[in-house]
Amino acid sequence: MKALTWAGAYDVRMETVPDPVLMAPTDIILRVTATAICGSDLHLYRGKVPGMKEGDILGHEFMGIVEDAGDAVTAVRRGDRVVVPFTISCGDCFFCGRGLYAACETTNPDRGAILNKKEVRSGAGMFGYTHLYGGYPGGQAEYVRVPQANVGPLRISDSALTDEQVLFLSDILPTGYQAVLNAAVGEGSSLAIFGAGPVGMMAAACARLLGVERIFMVDHHQYRLDFAREAYGAETINFDDVEDPAEHIIATTQNRGVDASIEAVGFEAKGSKLETLMTNLKLEGASGQALRQAIAATRRGGTVSVPGVYAGFIHAFLFGDAFDKGLSFRMGQTHVQQHMPALLEHIGRGDLHPEIIISHRLPLLEAARGYELFEEKLEECRKVVLTPH
């Protein structure tokens, strides 16, 4: 089959590789009908996440048709159309029992990313996400093996729903939703979202769904901000024009700040040349720019919710500011399985239209071009969907 493989920083290739086969009784083989490129894939693409090996198949946002199923698979059948969550979870462990699927302690044999780890078991394995997270081949491919098929894949029985409408249930829609739930906002709240990428957009959509009144959105790609204003009524701030977005937010919220902030940028946040340099030299684990802005923009007693991916340390974290303001922090990988059914209902009812952010549709064979478009923000790229068949 054809699959997109990683060959080094800024080097992904369409290769012919062996077809996947069932390896455990709870596996299925999926024929992929749609797959997307995620901001998390860009961290891998740039070579910023350790644990990639040449030839690893990328991709963790995908859906398709069940082609084959192991003997112990009862939740889905051959021929079913399913969306697959990026988190691989067993459904039986301490954490799965609490709905904390991203913390599943049985599916990742690798070490994970915690620095001060001690004997803590690793969190869930993930598709196409390095040999820190299980080294599972990903779904930017014609076929993919899906382990734990009784717990992950969500059946889409309504044939009126298109692949594009439901594909983002695999990751970015639940991620935006969990970010909003973690932000503890609702009717009448104010919210600042840092990062107008796909995750920031999904957070804005879910914030509107839950009645958030005022949404600020910060980025420096004007075309993404323009989209956020038109689609979600966001008040936008371009940090190339406004040097200190948090200052601007505070000035327009009676010198208090917003009820909550969502940091949907992650460890490669732009804006501090020093931190970017130090991060590249591995003297710093991450740029703290977006996180500092989120802390500064949030009112006393408010919440900072962080779906953006972080690893390691940040020296200039300003923990004291967060203490003085009495902020709460919520963060982490998304417990995708927990949110999928409710979000599918919202899509079915027409309350959520995640597909509107798609800007590029390409055949799988042009996946490398898709990475280039999404990375370089060419042709006003917001989100790329690839179709293998």
If one asks whether residue 290 binds ligand NAD (CB under 6 A), the answer comes out as yes
Return the H-helix or E-strand segment holding 16.
Answer: strand 11-16
The region of 86-94, 142-150, 226-234, 283-291 touching Zn ion under the rule CB under 5 A is: 86-94
Secondary structure (DSSP) of 266-282: -TT--S-HHHHHHHHTT
Among 26, 165, 334, 337, binds ligand NAD (CB under 6 A): 334
d(CA 265, CA 103): 22
Q: Give least dist CB 108 to ligand NAD, A.
A: 14
| The dihedral formed by the CA atoms of 160, 65, 36 and 286, expressed in degrees to the nearest 10 | 120
Nearer to ligand NAD, 71 or 379 (CB): 379
If one asks whether residue 42 binds ligand NAD (CB under 6 A), the answer comes out as yes
Site for Zn ion in 19-38 (CB under 5 A): 38
Closest Cα partner for 250 from 216, 279, 278? Answer: 216
Nearer to ligand NAD, 172 or 322 (CB): 172
Instruction: Please state the φ and ψ torsions of residue 329, each to the nearest 5 degrees.
Output: -120, 135
Among 30, 38, 154, 180, binds ligand NAD (CB under 6 A): 38
Site for Zn ion in 271-310 (CB under 5 A): none
d(CA 353, CA 346): 9
Q: Which residues of 346-361 are buried (b: 16+ CB within 10 A; e: fewer)?
A: bbeeeebebbbbbbbe
The region of 108-116, 140-148, 304-312, 314-322 touching ligand NAD under the rule CB under 6 A is: 304-312
Among 140, 333, 337, 338, binds ligand NAD (CB under 6 A): 333
C-alpha atoms less than 13 angstroms from C-alpha of 320 in its C-beta half-sphere: 2
What character string, x for contact with Zn ion (CB under 5 A) and - otherwise, covers 155-194? ----------------x-----------------------
The region of 48-56, 192-200, 247-255, 364-372 touching ligand NAD under the rule CB under 6 A is: 192-200
What character string, x for contact with Zn ion (CB under 5 A) and - otherwise, covers 113-152? ----------------------------------------
Alpha-helical runs (H) found in 150-256 = 163-166, 172-183, 198-209, 222-232, 245-251
The region of 21-29, 63-71, 112-120, 215-223 touching ligand NAD under the rule CB under 6 A is: 215-223
Q: Give least dist CB 147 to Zn ion, A.
A: 12
Q: Rg of the Cα trace of the chain?
A: 20
Instruction: Please state the φ and ψ torsions of residue 87, each to the nearest 5 degrees.
Output: -85, 130
Query: 104 touches which of Zn ion, ligand NAD, none (CB within 5 to 8 A by kind)?
Result: Zn ion
Cβ neighbors of 111 (< 8 A, separation 6 or more) are 117, 122, 132
Among 13, 31, 220, 256, binds ligand NAD (CB under 6 A): 220
Nearer to ligand NAD, 62 or 194 (CB): 194
d(CA 236, CA 239): 10
> In sequence order, what are the beta bridge partners of 31?
65, 143
Q: Which residues of 202-220 are buried (b: 16+ CB within 10 A; e: fewer)?
A: bbbbbbbeeebebbbbbbb
If one asks whether residue 96 binds Zn ion (CB under 5 A), the answer comes out as yes
What DSSP state is assigned to residue 19?
Answer: P
Site for ligand NAD in 171-190 (CB under 6 A): 171-172, 175
If one asks whether residue 334 binds Zn ion (CB under 5 A), the answer comes out as no
Among 40, 170, 279, 287, binds Zn ion (CB under 5 A): 40
The region of 20-28, 247-255, 268-276, 321-329 touching ligand NAD under the rule CB under 6 A is: 268-276
d(CA 346, CA 62): 20
Amino acid at 314: I
If one asks whether residue 309 binds ligand NAD (CB under 6 A), the answer comes out as yes
Residues forming the site for ligand NAD (CB under 6 A): 38-40, 42-43, 171-172, 175, 194-200, 218-221, 224, 239, 264-266, 269-271, 289-290, 307-309, 333-334
Residues forming the site for Zn ion (CB under 5 A): 38, 40, 89-90, 93, 96, 104, 171
